[in-house]
Homo-oligomer: A and B are copies of this chain.
Amino acid sequence: MPVSQNIKVAVDAVVFGYTSKEGLSVLLIKRDIEPFKDMWALPGGLVGDEESLEDAVHRELKEETGISITYLEQLYSFGKPGRDPRNRVISITYYGLVKPDAFEVCADTDAGDAAWFNIKNLPLLAFDHPEIIETAWKRLQSKILYEPIGFELLDEKFPFSELEKLYVAVLDRPIDRRNFKKKITQFGFLDETDEKQTLGGAGRPGNLYRFNVKKYFRLKKAGINFEI
């Protein structure tokens, strides 16, 4: 057993945002130091000695991108020697979800060195970050099928078609509209409001729905299991 150790511990976050216009997107920052200077990378950094891993993620996201996320979950720990050319660094990675307003604000400003990229059109990335994003996307794809986390990527009220388009973007495959609506509504945790979509451009406006968290937890306790 090694008696002393020289390994650094970092966190990195794959933050997903979504709008039907921009599609499923990932938040990246432009590195301003070597190595990989001027390349894009995941937000992240070293963990403080007295700081929890989740706190470190939130702190780094605020420092580097100014964003606050509504959902955070641990993804995987990457620790191969050599993945950082300087030192041995173990990165404990997380993935997070943000609501469209946070997504759009950041996308607009574009100032500084943070930007959103569509998941299917990523730039060259530093370190092993392509692998991390790939892992995160797969995890999101499987998780969205058995937990209603998709709502963390939508506004409080949303037309049903937004939810469907979100699933199409995340799963990267077509979905049958009628079957999808049947499945989702049958669970009973979506409230239909009496409002309709405004600002819709052309086409018939859709009713707005709201995810009812209380109902969801009640149903979950009662033993339903969400599965798409």
Name A residues whose Cβ lies closer than 8 Å to a Cβ of B: 1-2, 5-9, 45-53, 60, 63, 74, 76-77, 79-81, 88, 90, 92
- A90 interface neighbour in B6, B9, B50, B63, Cβ under 8 Å: B9
Closest residue of chain B to A45 (Cβ to Cβ) is B1
Query: Are A79 and B52 in contact (CB-based, < 8 A)?
Result: yes
Known: A9-B9, A9-B90, A90-B9. A81 touches B46 (CB 8 A): no
Closest residue of chain B to A59 (Cβ to Cβ) is B1
Q: Which residues of B contact A80 (CB under 8 A)?
A: 52-53
Query: Are B81 and A50 in contact (CB-based, < 8 A)?
Result: yes
Q: Which residues of B contact A7 (CB under 8 A)?
A: 8-9, 47, 49
Query: Are B53 and A79 in contact (CB-based, < 8 A)?
Result: yes
Closest residue of chain B to A55 (Cβ to Cβ) is B81
A170 to chain B, nearest CB (A): 19
A sample of 6 inter-chain contacts (CB < 8 A) reads A6-B49, A9-B9, A49-B88, A53-B80, A53-B90, A90-B90
Q: Which residues of B contact A9 (CB under 8 A)?
A: 5, 7, 9, 79, 90
A55 to chain B, nearest CB (A): 9
